[in-house]
Structure 1
Amino acid sequence: MKSDTAPSNDPKFYRLIDANINRLREGIRVVEDVVRYIYDNKETASRLKKIRHQIRFDDPLLLQYRDIRNDVLKKSTKSEMQRETIEEIIKANMKRAQESARVLEEALKLIDPNYAELFKTIRYELYDIEKEL
């Protein structure tokens, strides 16, 4: 369901959604795999997997308007390339996922408040998992 105020004709809006869905899934997957394979923590890994499987916004425009070649910030920063501990990997990826969930929460308010609420719920669940870790 799209509202009259949604930027549904703007390819850049769909690039924003696509990039943040990918970033959110990727960040969660990194933490999920660390918790699963390094910490052997079935409960937290299962929670992360469940969250990752909730991330849905299927619209063919997402892939259609993906434009990696013209991404002005696709190169990694120096800080993104430096990790010294597993804990730093977890922290960086939790923040990455939380920030992406927030972007999706705000952007999807323009399309469907139910999607916005889903990503808000995901963001708060990630805050809780971060505290536990």
Structure 2
Amino acid sequence: MQAYYRMLDANVNRACEGLRVCEDFARFCCDDRELSAACRRLRHRVRELAEAAAPQCLQARSAAADVGCVTSAKSTVDRRTGVRSLLEANCKRAQEALRTAEEVYKLLQQDAQAKETEQCRFTVYTLEKELLQKAESLLRRAETTDGKD
């Protein structure tokens, strides 16, 4: 059972980290208050869903013993070729983490959290589309103003 809480802890954190990058992009790069707020609300909702399991998750946490940390530390750094790859990577990170969290909630027989987490994942799909459209718009605008002072 402790392993399930460890999985939940890691994936809630991973989902929130990905959403935070998206939130900051919307806030600082797009100056889009609504999109930034939507990312923030979703990030907070993911944390709220895990709140009941927070004590078990914290107790199960063992970053020092995580075999994935060693693998990650030894691998090459994921390169971001631009804002699109940054957003895609972080949206996918959130989506995949939410899918894992959803499945763990099912194992823990927390069906309400599983359903809500599924809805959160679908919301990320929508946010991803909006964020990528914003990014494309910013890139087009930058290209048209490039060299014009």
- Partners of 2:84 and 2:33 lie apart in 1 by 18
Distance apart, 1:73 and its partner CA: 1.5
Q: Determine the C-alpha separation between the residues in 1 that align with 2:18 and 2:121.
A: 12
How big is the alpha-carbon RMSD for the aligned residues of Structure 1 and Structure 2? Answer: 1.2
Deviations 1:54-113 (A, max 9, x none): 1121220111110111111112532x5311212211110000000011011111012211
Match of 1:12 in 2: 3
Between the aligned partners of 2:130 and 2:16, the Cα distance in structure 1 is: 20
Whole-Å separation in 2 of the counterparts to 1:99 and 1:117: 15
Q: Which has the higher helix share?
A: 2
TM-score (normalised: structure 1): 0.87
- In the alignment, does 2:105 pair up with 1:108? yes
Deviations 1:7-38, CA, capped at 9 Å, x for gaps: xxx21111100000100111100110011101
Structure 1 residues without counterparts, runs of 5 or longer: 1-9
Counterpart of 1:84 in 2: which secondary structure?
Answer: coil
Aligned to 1:26: 17
Matching residue within 44, 48, 52 for 1:53 = 44
In 1: Cα distance, 2:94 partner to 2:129 partner: 14
Return the index of the structure with the highest Cα Rg: 2
**TM-score scaled by length of structure 2:** 0.78
Whole-Å separation in 2 of the counterparts to 1:35 and 1:87: 13
